[in-house]
Chains A and B, each alone.
Chain A
Amino acid sequence: MIKIVDLKKSFGPKEVLRGVNLTIEEGKTTCILGGSGSGKSTLIKCLIRLEDATSGAIIVDGKDITKIRSEIKLAAIRRHFGYLFQEGALFDSMSVGENVAFGLKYLTDTPLSEYPKIIKEKLALVGLKDVENLNPSELSGGMKKRVSLARVLAVNPKVILYDEPTTGLDPIMSDIISDLIIDLKSKLGVTSVVITHDMHSAFKIADYIAFLYEGEILLYGTPEEFRKTDNPYVKQFVEGSSHGPIQMKLKKD
């Protein structure tokens, strides 16, 4: 279980997270919804300390990870997490196979001779075959995301953080990725945190949904509760309407 307590994060004078309180249940999929610039990415980057929170606490297995200073202890915490980056973040100087095996070298004691087997197995898990020797630049957007997911899965993380897994993909590929996330939960029992603004995918995969608006959690509940809510902000977002209390800023401030 991960407990986020009154988490705040500012970039200079701009307060992105204004006291987030959220509990992420073990073995469940929690979707964090929110518009662009609502602080979703910052929130999950704080979870593995790619960003340092300004104040507040993140309790993982009873320990507050925001207080850890040692780089070695930090690496030990990060090994429980997998992170699927929005654009895949595959290493472009390496082949697909080397990318998938990368974490094995640094996070596990797996002997080198087992790498090819694991690479094949994890790529098969995300529905890819015979791509080991390709370069990331030869892959389509959807394939990149799947290879990136295989790279995450190779090290068997307990928690997987997905940064907009379906953004930029066609509807069919989006659905394939959503199915994969559901599959991984049932097959491997991983805890998933998915940030997204894809309502269709969120309703399909989520056990719980949290709606992040202007740096705070406005509503937390099951997908059913979200469908029935009277909260005008959430309602507008779920329906995807331009009319309502949420006024999108057309200019970045």
Chain B
Amino acid sequence: MTRMFDQVGGAADMVRSSVFWFTHSRFEFHQAAQQSVTIGVESLGVTALTSLFTGMVLALQAGNTIGNIFGEPIFVGTIVTFSLIRELGPVLTAVVVSGRAGAAVTAQIGTMAVTEQIDALYTLGTNPIRYLVLPRMFGFLLTMPVLTLFSNLFGVVGGYLVAAYALGVPGEVYMTDITTFMDVNDFLHGFIKSFIFAFMVAVVCCYKGISTRGGAEGVGKSTTGAVVTTIVLILVLDYFLTAILTAFGI
């Protein structure tokens, strides 16, 4: 329990330090751009694949259930798109990014910590928060919402394929079901979530990396720790964010 509080305190201190260096030093644009590309490219393929199949299975389940009740599969497009844009898009993307890019970030920073490369940064005139953490935070914050957008797109396409070819819903009906019931707030709902997930994944993965101790075994522990923590936090946060955003009418 004390350890958990220590870690939360440590992570909070890292965020404070990040704000300090963001406002007190030249931003490492080159590093940030490089990190954004790495994080985005690493995660895009898996994100696309998982969302495509999620959209497909949503359409299949919704189509069959509604078909059994009402005799024909109606509102498949609405159900698929609602679920994706408000919930599954941001959540699945965050989980995939955390497992793919987040783990890589923790492992890389963790290895630097146990081989004294982080100490070397201090002795060579730069702060590891400024040099390692800030560019990665920027990378996650920039790429996660973009990846979520892609994920939504692939999911909707997956749903379309199943609706059109397996359930016999005409394409135009699927699209009208989407456009009639969706509004800007639904996008905003998912977008805000993906932003907050991005920040959380960045903080947890960077902090776990920086606080790594104890050689190769330590790096392994931090990396699994980072992935497990972020996935649990994504799902828990998701509930509270939904509650709060809905209360604000978003």
Contacts and interface: CB of A to CB of B under 8 A. Distances in A.
A81 interface: yes
Interface stretch (B62-70, B117-125, B168-176, B193-201): B117-125
Contacts of B127: 71, 75
B20 interface: yes
Contact of A78 (B20, B115, B123): B123
Contacts of A71: 17, 20, 127
B3 interface: no
Nearest to A152: B123
23 contacts: A48-B122, A50-B122, A50-B123, A71-B20, A71-B127, A72-B24, A75-B125, A78-B122, A78-B125, A79-B125, A81-B123, A83-B123, A85-B119, A85-B120, A89-B117, A89-B119, A90-B120, A91-B117, A92-B115, A103-B125, A107-B125, A155-B124, A155-B125
Interface of B: 17, 20, 24, 112, 115-117, 119-120, 122-127
B119 A50 contact: yes
B115 A87 contact: yes
Interface in A62-109: 71-72, 75, 78-79, 81-83, 85-87, 89-92, 102-103, 106-107
A68 B127 CA distance: 16
B119 A151 contact: no
A195 B24 CA distance: 35
A151 B116 contact: no
A111 B117 CA distance: 25
B49 to A, nearest CB: 28
Contacts of A45: 119
B120 A83 contact: yes
A82 B126 contact: no
Nearest to B117: A89
Interface in A101-155: 102-103, 106-107, 151, 155
Nearest to B118: A89
Contacts of B123: 48, 50, 78, 81-83
B116 A87 contact: yes
A14 to B, nearest CB: 15
A107 B116 contact: no
Contact of B125 (A87, A90, A106): A106
Interface in A193-208: none
A180 B5 CA distance: 47
- The listed residue with most B CB atoms (<10 A of its CB), out of A45, A50, A71, A79, is A71
Nearest to A103: B124
Interface string A163-204: 000000000000000000000000000000000000000000
